[in-house]
Amino acid sequence: MAFDQDDKIEKTEKQVTFFRFEDLRVYHKALDYANWLLEISYLFPDNDKTKLVEKLNDSARNISLFIAEGSSRNKSQFVYYLKMAKSAIRECLVFTSLAFNANQMSDASEEESRGQLMEMTKMIGALITSLQRTPGYDNGNEYNGNGNAYPRSRYDNHSGQIDEDEMSGNY
CATH code: domain of residue 36 = 1.20.1440.60
Distance CA 69, CA 60 (A): 15
Distance CA 63, CA 119 (A): 13
Residue 160 clears pLDDT 50, i.e. is over it: no
**Residue 170's pLDDT band (cuts 50, 70, 90):** very low
In a domain, 46, yes or no: no
Residue 108 clears pLDDT 90, i.e. is over it: yes
In a domain, 34, yes or no: yes
In the chain, how many domains are there? 1
Highest mean pLDDT among 77-81, 131-135, 143-147: 77-81
In a domain, 66, yes or no: yes
Q: Can you list the positions of beta strands (E) in the chain?
A: 141-143, 149-151, 155-156, 161-162
Structural domain containing residue 117:
21-41+51-134
**Stretch 108-129: mean pLDDT:** 97
Rounded to two decimals, the pTM is: 0.71
Distance CA 82, CA 56 (A): 19
Which of 41-45, 61-65, 102-106, 142-146 shows the lowest mean pLDDT across its residues? Answer: 142-146
